[in-house]
Amino acid sequence: MGWMRKVEPLKFVIQRHDRDGEQPHWDLMLENGTVLETYRVSLPPEDWGDRPVEAVKIFDHPLKFLSYEGSVNKGKGRVEIADCGTYRLIEKNETQQQISFEGNLLKGEFKLRLIENDRWEIIGF
């Protein structure tokens, strides 16, 4: 039996993003090295489950957003933390990630699956 490297859990945050004149959305941010890989989701984390929810890959955010709440978009929007915790990446390739979340709301295993271009879906199982 060979040596196994212990994989430390990574951090995640889900921010509710309100912007003047628009419906709120949620940003799922996954710690990935020195950035937060970010997906825009139209439903809150408590509505993620066994039906697919669309997640659009947007630009990476700095790690400071793991704990940031406040004004964004030059004062035209505001973010607040909807959920946070740790996650473990179980499997990852170019078209799919299998993730185990341990957050306040989001718990258990989910798949983040590529639909096309920057459009993904997240589904629990």
Distance CA 22, CA 52 (A): 23
Asked if 24 and 15 count as a contact pair (C-beta separation under 8 A), the reply is no
What type of residue sits at position 99? I
> What pLDDT score was predicted for residue 8?
77
**Overall pTM > 0.85:** yes
> What pLDDT score was predicted for residue 22?
86
> What pLDDT score was predicted for residue 4?
55
> What pLDDT score was predicted for residue 7?
64
Mean pLDDT by 10 residues, the chain (125 residues): 65 95 94 97 92 96 96 89 96 94 95 97 93
> What pLDDT score was predicted for residue 3?
55
